[in-house]
Structure 1
């Protein structure tokens, strides 16, 4: 698969991820919200075909990592939060404030800068020290999820979303060198199992974040964390390439993406249409 194939997969991934975010939001809010870490949420969501579609849509992003650097793949994936807001607005009647739209515009500018700086490449092998570091980071995410789960509302969504972002950054870093290798050998790779574990942890935390506040708040805090961590480590450790003389484009693009995500987390408010539906036996 060449560079153009990678970009085609990235575009499809962003579109699929946008539909997936909406699907995951709808599905996650059908489940009971609990003020504690609840691994069983994945078991309950696994029976929801809408949620499974959202989960499966992320496979395209994994394949795009075979030839494209992480800073463009993760930035492209993060654009799904804006697409999801548009889909929710048009299809489900979600309310999106003017300030959220402005923040999404800043996000778009940041993404364009990153696209302009992108240069295709195959990742360097994962250093063993980084692999163990990623495992430690995932274990830390699990430990921090327990106190974060007690935070209600939008602040809780930001906390859970940021932790989900760390888990998905681990997934992205593991997937970058794996995507270019023989896919049939994935079960034999320790990194593949770490990637699966990080996907499960990230999905559980994202589902919890989506229960607590609007889609833009939950997904934006997740995306900002993933984009920054994966981009920096991709360039410094995995050998991701930047077009000559455009290193500042990457720095500026990442800054704008993070600023937009923080703005969405601050100004985003769950509308009545986006709040979790009451569950039998649970106070609304």
Structure 2
């Protein structure tokens, strides 16, 4: 039960962090994005607030991975795009469409299917082959992100952010049950933090250049698919007997929900930072 509470609070913090970061990133964007954009965002209080939400969500999701399978934890955090949409509508005047309301229902149904099929368990140790892949991934993501920034490829940046956060989730699943005082001595801890920083950088640039919700939806879909496959195949994530169909259908619902919700909410970022006198 504690893991489910941690996951719920984590999702809420992620959603609010997405809204704050997207508004801050768009108002800070101007010619010469990339490292210059990240430097400007580092001094933006709204972005700092959003980043704090992301850090809090990350910490709680990390704790939830100690007992919950990756397919449930990542689906839960992916639903932050739904929380972000609802918060944007209520607090910032974002426009909402019928399809977005329908997709919120699809997300909820997917989470129910996954939650009822999940079985708490402690993760297996990461196999050697997968460990080498994880170790090399930050370098590959960093090189690919440099290429994507030069070509202004928002979709590719979102996919790279999703891949980096998949490394975070996989490493975190293996580390979450370890004593906290031993974490600084484990190389996986530093790999996880490096991947988190890379993912954050890719996401920040993508948020500045594209739709907030579509960027986060693409990123989360990539993370969810990668981590679910690795968790079940290599880390010993368990499924209740006879409920494999629930996991497949639940993941399909959540992926569909975040992707459609992201593509449908094209106008939200524009409304979010429009001056009040222009909106009248």
Q: TM-score, normalised by structure 1?
A: 0.87
Aligned to 2:210: 213
Aligned to 1:237: 234
How many Å separate the matches in 2 of 1:212 and 1:148? 12
Deviation at 1:138, TM superposition (A): 2.9
How many Å separate the matches in 2 of 1:183 and 1:10? 19
Q: Which region of structure 1 is more displaced relative to structure 2, 43-52 or 134-143?
A: 43-52
Deviation at 1:41, TM superposition (A): 4.3
Q: List aligned pairs for 1:16-35, cutoff 5 A.
A: 16-33=13-30
How many Å separate the matches in 2 of 1:56 and 1:24? 12
Aligned to 1:12: 9
How many Å separate the matches in 2 of 1:32 and 1:236? 41
Deviation at 1:52, TM superposition (A): 3.1
Cα RMSD for the two superposed structures: 2.2
Tell me if structure 2 keeps the 8 A contact 1:213–1:270: no
Deviation at 1:150, TM superposition (A): 4.5
The alignment status of 1:145 with 2:141, answered yes or no, reads no
Aligned to 1:280: none
Deviation at 1:211, TM superposition (A): 1.2
Tell me, what secondary structure is at the counterpart of 2:271?
Answer: coil
Deviation at 1:275, TM superposition (A): 6.5
Deviation at 1:136, TM superposition (A): 2.4
Q: Label 1:203 to 1:75 Cα distance change in 2 as closer, same or farther (>3 A).
A: same
Q: Label 1:9 to 1:145 Cα distance change in 2 as closer, same or farther (>3 A).
A: same
Aligned to 1:174: 171
Deviation at 1:20, TM superposition (A): 1.3
Q: TM-score, normalised by structure 2?
A: 0.88
Q: Label 1:140 to 1:100 Cα distance change in 2 as closer, same or farther (>3 A).
A: farther
Q: Label 1:41 to 1:172 Cα distance change in 2 as closer, same or farther (>3 A).
A: farther
How many Å separate the matches in 1 of 2:243 and 2:30? 45
Aligned to 1:282: none
Structure 2: runs of 5+ lacking an equivalent? 276-280
Q: Label 1:246 to 1:40 Cα distance change in 2 as closer, same or farther (>3 A).
A: farther
Deviation at 1:230, TM superposition (A): 0.6
Tell me if structure 1 keeps the 8 A contact 2:82–2:261: no
Deviation at 1:39, TM superposition (A): 4.2
Tell me, what secondary structure is at the counterpart of 2:124?
Answer: coil
The alignment status of 1:54 with 2:50, answered yes or no, reads no
Greater per-residue helix proportion: 2
Aligned to 1:136: 136
Give 2:271's match in structure 1, choosing from 257, 270, 273. 273
The alignment status of 1:126 with 2:126, answered yes or no, reads yes
Q: Which region of structure 1 is more displaced relative to structure 2, 229-238 or 246-255?
A: 246-255
Tell me, what secondary structure is at the counterpart of 2:199?
Answer: helix
Aligned to 1:64: 64
Structure 1: runs of 5+ lacking an equivalent? 278-284
Aligned to 2:278: none
Tell me, what secondary structure is at the counterpart of 1:149?
Answer: helix
Cα deviation, 1:109-139, whole Å, max 9, x if unaligned, reads: 2222111111100111112221211122332
Tell me if structure 2 keeps the 8 A contact 1:33–1:211: no
How many Å separate the matches in 1 of 2:80 and 2:15? 4
The alignment status of 1:96 with 2:96, answered yes or no, reads yes
